Amino acid sequence: MGAGAAAPGWPDEFVELLVEGGCRVIRYDHRDTGRSTAVPAAEADYDLGDLARDAVAVLDAHGVDRAHVVGMSMGGLIGQLLAVDHADRLRSLTLTHTGALDMGTTDENPAVGPERLTRVIALAEPGATEEAELERRVALWRELHGDALPFDPAEYLRLERRVIAHAGTFLPSTGHIRLASTPLPRGADDLRTATTPTLVVQGGQDPFFPLGHGRHLAGLLPDARLLEIPELGHALPAVVHRRVADAILDHLRRHP
């Protein structure tokens, strides 16, 4: 899952579709999220390479030798590091709502207008109470969701109530903020050597990673397929659960 997101960031209803398709699903809290160990943001001395090693440690703890890995947003960057540095632990890789490790893009799809990013940044300040924080998070999801699909605030409110109940606090995780300014440990040349079969899912309404990022990423990886969903933003709403889950399950069946 993405920066600051814990395991429940993967919607239960979406996970259930994967389980119905025959998967054993392991969701986990990144360090500094959910119920994992947390430190003050100023003391968060780690990088994405450490988060990739955390993922390997989770597999070890569950006795899993090789796994089908799905990473969204920052989780997609972690997935790429796994493919480069820990390929022996992967059966397949699915990358959604993310960009390549070199943060490159094609010229065909400029980012969604800067006014949306301005509104996202304006929603960065945490709420002073749980209800205020929930209101802020739903408003943030409204911006990330995009304009092409119907937006259901009740859906995101349910999701965030689960996230808060899981963590035991309404205070958002902040330890990952510094990762945005931390140099990525690998780049385009490393991705060109990655042999893990990969599915890239990219949305046309994503304000952070528009379609050009997905096209660039899929072009770097030697064994990648690209699924474009023009109406999808930087979110995983219920209306696309079946479509995305079916694409992942098909990818897993191609690479058992």
CA–CA distance, 27 with 58 (Å, rounded to integer): 10
- Closest of 125, 168, 134 to residue 153, by C-alpha: 134
Catalytic residue among 29, 32, 190, 206: 206
Determine the straight-line distance between the first and last CA of the chain, rounded to whole angstroms.
23
Residues 75 and 98: beta-carbon distance below 8 Å:
yes
Catalytic residue among 29, 30, 68, 73: 73
Q: Poorest-confidence range of 151-155, 181-185, 225-229?
A: 181-185
H-run or E-run covering 156: helix 153-167
Tokens at 67, concatenated: 């796994």
Write down the domain spans for the chain: 7-110+171-254
Q: pTM (2 decimals)? A: 0.92
- Tens of pLDDT, residues 54-113: 999 999 999 999 999 999 999 999 999 999 999 999 999 999 999 999 877 766 555 556
Domain 7-110+171-254 fold: Rossmann fold (3.40.50)
- By three-state DSSP, how is residue 71 classified? strand
Stretch 109-138: mean pLDDT, rounded? 83
The yes-or-no answer on residue 206 being catalytic is yes
The yes-or-no answer on residue 92 being catalytic is no
CA–CA distance, 55 with 53 (Å, rounded to integer): 5
The yes-or-no answer on residue 234 being catalytic is yes
